[in-house]
Amino acid sequence: SDLGAPKPQKGYRKKERMSKKSKRRARKDEECLEIGLLSSPRSSSSYESSPERTPTALHRAELMVAGMTCSTCVSSVEKTLSSLEGVKSVIVSLITGKVEVKLLRLLPNESLALKRLVDAVLDAGFEVESSNLDLAASTNGSNGILKQMQLVHITLSVQGMVCTNCSNHLEKALEDLKGVVEVKVSLATDEVCVSGEHALLTAQDVVHAIEEAGYGASVKSVELDTDGGALHEVDLSVEGMTCSSCQNTVEKVILAINGVESAVVSLLDAKARVKFRMGETGPREIIRAVDEAGFPTALYTNAKTSIGKSASGRREADKWKRLFLRSLCFSIPLFIVSRIIPTIPGVNDTMMNLFLGFPIIEWLKFVLATPVQFWVGYGFYIRAWKSIKNKSANMDVLVVLGTTSAYAYSVLSILYHHFNRHHVSQDYVPTDFFETSGLLLTFICLGKFLESLAKTKTSEAISKLMELTPDTAILVELDEGSNIIHEEEIMTSLIHVGDELKVLPGAKIPTDGFVTNGSSYVDEAMVTGESIPVLKGMGDGLIGGTVNTAGFLRMKASKVGSETALAQIIRLVQAAQMSKAPVQRYADKISSYFVPTVVFLSITTFIIWYSCGISGAYPLEWIPSGNSVFLFSLTFAISVVVVACPCALGLATPTAIMVGTGVGATNGVLIKGGSALEKACHISTLVFDKTGTLTTGHPTVMHYLHLHEAIQKKEVAVLSAAVESASEHPLGKAIHSFCQSVLFGPDDDQGTQRQIQFPKHTDVSVQPGLGIKCSLDRKDHLEFMRKRRLSTWLQSKKETVVVQLGNRKLLRTEGKSADIPDRAETWMKEQEDFGRTCVLVAVDGDLCAVFSIADSLKPESYNVISYLQSMGIECVIASGDNWRTANAIGRDVGISAIHAGISPAEKVGVIKELQRDGMVVGMVGDGVNDSPALASADVGIAIGSGTDIAVEAADYVLMRDNLEDVALAIHLSQTTFRRIKLNYVWAMAYNIVCIPLAAGLFFPHFQIQLPPWVAGAAMALSSVSVVSSSLFLRFYKRPVLKFPLQSVATHRDFEA
């Protein structure tokens, strides 16, 4: 029943007596065993026999940490993890809760690496919800060594992170775990992903480490990598097993399938867990094999392991909602008893009667305040203690100091009056203020609840992307004639690579693939940002999650599961959202000193007010009725403690980055991190590649000059198209496409023009560097013209028509160069000055027309360049093409700085030179030939990547081949960074104004005092206001390019 997982080691718990923590750990082990997520460590011999290890190999670990609320928490996690042996770098995201750790792979006890990381985070006072481990970049040639390791990727859900100090501390703790390759932590989603060597790391180790540090953790998934590719895991529900013999039979049947790595079958749970290589088999084959063995099988679903990140966010909000409602149930009666009843004479007299020596009203206040302080506030105490134990102070410390001071003073006040028998006196006025601690915790819980709701909204874009993939797909079986003979509806998770699928009108594309039959318009707006549906025909690629809007499609699956474009987009955006922008370093630095400074100010406030009070420096009329100088001074001190908020500082950057990257993803702009986003705001020079970036990358007929008086233009088009119909030369294809558009209009009817049979040609002579010459059958030509009701000039009785298409040299070889009229020479020289290629057409020795061909500009190029220049960005062209062509393109789009005829390596030199001049340089290219330049630039922007989003060299990946997205990327980055600055202004202004107000700085002049419970409410709502400010980015609109279109030659001119 344990699915083959090992039992916990004996020495892990005390034998004689189990503590409560050990019991909780045992229950967690049982839960992990139940869902089969504990992986067995391999024997030591397997480790020893593995290739030689080197400490230069870098691992990258990822944890999802809960409980971080401010920059102090982030700093705490960073400090803790950075102090661990072997840790090279730590990146913590407050809003996502992700912690990314890069560390050296140390010998020989790597099995403890991940556990040490998690333990460190938990000891810092935060919860690790999930962990994962991925192969990281390496140094000193260690990449090959890492590739030989078998990695396990563990994803966990963790509770307890509240601020950046928490996430920083957790990140550092996780880095201390040996065997860890990568740790990623997200505060917003409360998840941790830890990747490590399978022989040294188990999910049980991670869970125990998290709980040892004081946080709750539950395993969500475990995935293995092998040399043959990533191991996928599937859980199956198996019926009909009655004994161990049945269990063994099922296990043998599964293991006999080619591609299955391991199978663990549980008789008690009627469940099997199978690990397999997707390239060799799939879940459908596994289910079929078990079914044929006599055991009905289906995919197993478990709510424990299928909780999404949005559900995790809702769970966090529900937790704070429950705490708020519990607190409210006691705080409202407490407020009535403390503030309203004393104003009602008859009722107050009754409440002042003694019970067990104390006034009834004091008993009521004590009974109502105590559950709020220690039941609702229990979590604050635990986190504060762990924070102090790890020499790091966060928001929880301030809350505990403030509420405990109010509660403890109130209890001592009651006892003081009791032992001095003050309550016997008719003038007795209670000096406690239990309602302060109760209302303070109530408003803090309310603020945390609202903050959690707002934080779930920041990841809304990712949630929408996750919901795009449909649950089911229609699998079809074809006969030899590619006709459908059978179809069935299957779950999307059961699709294999190579499956033929049917997509009905209005349905979602189930996975990545290409069209094998049919045509339709597909809405790709949610994935690429393309608002207009795209026509898809035979052989065209399809992206999973997009919508088939009109016709029937049949497709073949090419990628499934985590390999699809949508899955890669989600992973890339999640990685970006957990990254830290450089500007956040200032907030982290402030947060590290924030809490001690606030405590110092609070103590100073109390000393000043108390000293002035007992020395008579201010009139006693300032002190409220029933209060003493001590209580009056203490109220100011408590207000200072609880009003100060480090959380707003910590949330200012990550919330804006999360929303901004999500908005970018929905518009087809993928941003790879906060650092890239910040640098993009400061770009002063943008270098463009020419071919495929400013231009379409495909030669097009730009202009046409007709010269023959007798032969009409359409007949020239027929003859030219016939000659070039079988040509593979780019110029020939351009002429053929142009001639078809002249004859039949633009190619809008799904490629029917390509099926036209032009007159047959013979005696084809292709002369490299010159052109092409061939003979056409005159009868076929005349028949073609007659059927299409076109007039023809060729009425002679010759059997063939000789057609030549080429340059001047081709005509010169035929003795026709002298026949080129002056106006044609002048026209061609003008075209060639624009960097275009001229192709002459001669029929039976007579010059008829000239085509002007060039790699045409993208329609939006001029507007985009003008818009960027209006933003103060200098634009530069770096092209491998010749100077004349590059200069013509630069003249058309308004770029004067041109570097032409240079290699990819020389483009890097151009960028380095600009950087030496103090420029912040961005590079826009195709992500393939321009990879060195993209990597050398401060910001690399890969354009038109489509489904190939994993462009390593680029900081920005643009899904569409549209230059407008370059303007969008920079404008969105600037808008997001402005929002970050606004968040910081608000967070700093809040503390700068509220702390003096709470300290009573304005009280002598205006008698304005900020009660502690009001200060607590203001503190809680400050974080909500920052998150809400970031949420305004959801209403971002694409920039409107208002520049008039330049009259460049991007259209086809049919006139002479």
The residues assigned a catalytic role are 689
Residue 244 neighbours by CB distance under 10 Å: 10
Q: How far apart are CA 399 and CA 413, in angstroms?
A: 21
User: How far from the centroid of its chain's Cα atoms is residue 52's Cα?
Assistant: 36
Strand partners, 66: 127
Tokens 């074809």 sit at which residue?
478
CB-based contacts of 561-564 (< 8 A; 24+ apart in sequence)? 561/232, 561/278, 561/493, 562/230, 563/278, 563/512, 564/469, 564/511, 564/512
Identity of the residue numbered 611: S
3-class DSSP assignment, residue 207: helix
The DSSP secondary structure of 234-300, one letter per residue, reads: EEEEE----SHHHHHHHHHHHHTSTTEEEEEEETTTTEEEEEEETTT--HHHHHHHHHHTT--EEE-
Identity of the residue numbered 194: V
Give 452-515 as a 3 state SS string.
Answer: HHHHHHHCHHHHHHHCCCCCEEEEEEECCCCCEEEEEEEEHHHCCCCCEEEECCCCECCCEEEE
Of 529, 551, 554, which is closest to residue 542 (Cα–Cα)?
554
Identity of the residue numbered 637: A
What lies within 8 Å, CB to CB, of 331 at 6+ separation is: 368, 372, 435, 438, 439, 441, 442
Residue 485 neighbours by CB distance under 10 Å: 10
Rg from Cα positions in the chain: 36
Q: How far apart are CA 941 and CA 377, in angstroms?
A: 49
Residue 937 neighbours by CB distance under 10 Å: 30
What lies within 8 Å, CB to CB, of 370 at 6+ separation is: none
Distances (CA, A) of 70 to 588, 600, 650, 673, 1048: 9, 19, 4, 20, 54
Strand partners, 103: 59, 87
Name the helix (H) or strand (E) containing 831: helix 822-833
Q: How far apart are CA 233 and CA 681, in angstroms?
A: 42
Q: Which residues of 957-985 are buried (b: 16+ CB within 10 A; e: fewer)?
A: bbbbbbbbbbbbbbbbbbbbbebbebbbe
What lies within 8 Å, CB to CB, of 746 at 6+ separation is: none
Residue 352 structure tokens = 């002042």
First to last CA, the chain: 85
